[in-house]
């Protein structure tokens, strides 16, 4: 994923990407010499629902492993947050991880889920309010890589951040550091950020997690093409593209691609994009770290390490970071 260079914590709020921006990004991405599409566009209502299916696949270890860490280390994690904090979750999705932490956070004063998948976010906020009527839930439908503002009702409260799921891995390291710096400016000096980071491991385990036997990850990847057809009037035949996931060891990242099965030309809103047989669209990176390599990245972005918790197999990590003064 890439970050808007104009991004700043105190810039004015921006709306969710309109179709104009989506179209511009698709034209840019498909028009490039090496074709790519921004991973944030995976998440329309259909994409968010597919992601939820991914999280319970046997091959997809990150979600269940992070949930176990949150369950086992909940009291220690909660102890890192200030009393009366408002918790801002970046890329909140189903909010399942917040629910696990909530039992350890009786003093939380508000919860602010921020997500680009607007319909899904609204539904999650509705259900959360019904389940936790005493917790003020203030959803923000926004692309967190673009300028956005937090609800004014939070002013004066200590803020803490929550960024689980290893969504940070979907940004290349330089972009990830920039994003962490922006989160630091949003949350303020001395703030705590709790975030999940997937760890480097055997290629076979990684590649299976992103190319499951049931084909759910393939459907998630291909949904991007369906979305282009639905929202931008594209004429792409998704069946003419194959899902591919591979571990790029030199870059320490899983890459997802959509590979054209044939030589073809697709059209999106009147513009034609030729594909050679075997040519790919790079749709996602999912960077994998060690505890040390992630701490070094966080330090470059102005965050110091407080704690890091892992599972006994060393598959996944949860970090507590403090924003330096
Ligand atoms: N935090 C959840 C969901 C992870 S999936 C979990 O740990 O299970 C990634 C989430 O981030 C999705 O809900 C997606 O809609 C959201 N997301 C991805 N890119 C985003 C962006 N640029 N701005 C806001 N939300 C984004
Ligand atoms: C949201 N993000 C951390 C997921 C990941 O593992 O990189 C998205 C995903 N892509 C394919 N499967 C899951």
* Helices (H), ranges, the chain: 19-31, 45-54, 61-79, 96-102, 118-131, 173-187, 203-209, 216-232, 291-300
Beta bridge partners of 192: 322
Q: Whole-number mean pLDDT of the chain?
A: 93
Identify which ligand lies nearest to the alpha carbon of 38. 1
> What is the pLDDT, as a whole number, of residue 148?
85
| Interstrand relation of 140-141 and 316-323 (parallel, antiparallel or unpaired) | unpaired
Query: What was the pLDDT predicted at 58?
Result: 98
Q: Is the CB of 169 under 6 A from ligand 1?
A: no
Main-chain dihedrals φ then ψ at residue 281, nearest 5 degrees? -105, 120
Is 198 a pocket residue for ligand 1 (Cβ < 6 Å)? no
Residue having the nearest C-alpha atom to atom 7 of ligand 2: 286
Q: Is the pLDDT of residue 79 over 90?
A: yes
Task: Tell me the CA–centroid distance for residue 91 and ligand 1, in Å.
Answer: 3
Residue range 154-166: average pLDDT? 95
Q: Which residues are CB-contacts of 5 (< 8 A; sequence separation ≥ 6)?
A: none
The answer to whether the CB of 171 is under 6 A from ligand 1 is no
Testing ligand 1's pocket by substitution, the residue of 17, 116, 318 carrying the most ligand atoms inside 8 A of its CB is 116
If you measure from the C-alpha of residue 165 to the centroid of ligand 1, how many angstroms do you get, rounded to a whole number?
Answer: 8
Query: How many Å apart are CA 165 and CA 91, to the nearest integer?
Result: 9
- For residue 191, what pLDDT is reported? 96
Q: Is the CB of 61 under 6 A from ligand 2?
A: no
Shortest-distance atom of ligand 2 to CA 254 = 7
pLDDT average, residue stretch 143-152: 89
Q: What pTM value is reported for the model?
A: 0.94
Q: Is there an atom of ligand 1 within 6 Å of 97 CB? A: yes
């Amino acid at each position: 994923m890439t970050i808007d260079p104009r991004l700043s914590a105190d810039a004015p709020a921006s709306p969710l990407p309109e179709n104009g921006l989506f179209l511009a990004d698709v034209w840019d991405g498909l028009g490039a010499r090496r074709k790519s599409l921004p991973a944030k566009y995976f998440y329309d209502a259909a994409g968010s629902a597919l992601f939820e299916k991914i999280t319970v696949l046997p091959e997809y270890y990150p979600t269940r492993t992070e949930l176990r860490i949150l369950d086992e280390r909940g009291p220690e994690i909660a102890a890192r947050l200030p009393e009366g904090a408002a918790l801002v979750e970046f890329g909140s999705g189903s909010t399942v991880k917040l629910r696990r932490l909530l039992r350890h956070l009786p003093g939380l004063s508000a919860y602010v889920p921020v997500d680009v998948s607007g319909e899904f976010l609204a539904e999650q906020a509705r259900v959360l309010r019904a389940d936790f009527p005493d917790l003020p839930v203030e959803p923000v439908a926004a692309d967190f890589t673009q300028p956005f503002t937090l609800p004014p009702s939070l002013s004066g409260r200590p803020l803490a951040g929550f960024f689980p799921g290893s969504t940070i891995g979907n940004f290349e390291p330089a972009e990830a550091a920039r994003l962490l710096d922006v989160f630091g400016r949003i949350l303020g000096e001395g703030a705590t950020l709790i975030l999940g980071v997937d760890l480097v491991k055997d290629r076979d385990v990684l590649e299976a997690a992103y190319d499951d036997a049931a084909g759910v990850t393939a459907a998630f990847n291909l949904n991007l093409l369906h979305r282009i057809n639905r929202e931008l009037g594209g004429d792409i035949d998704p069946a003419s593209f194959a899902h591919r996931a591979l571990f790029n060891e030199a870059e320490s990242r899983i890459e997802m691609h959509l590979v054209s099965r044939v030589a073809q030309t697709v059209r999106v809103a009147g513009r034609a994009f030729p594909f050679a047989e075997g040519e790919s669209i790079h749709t996602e990176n999912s960077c994998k770290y060690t505890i040390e390599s992630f701490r070094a990245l966080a330090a470059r972005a102005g965050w110091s390490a407080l704690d890091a918790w892992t599972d006994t197999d060393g598959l996944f990590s949860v970090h507590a970071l403090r924003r330096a003064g």
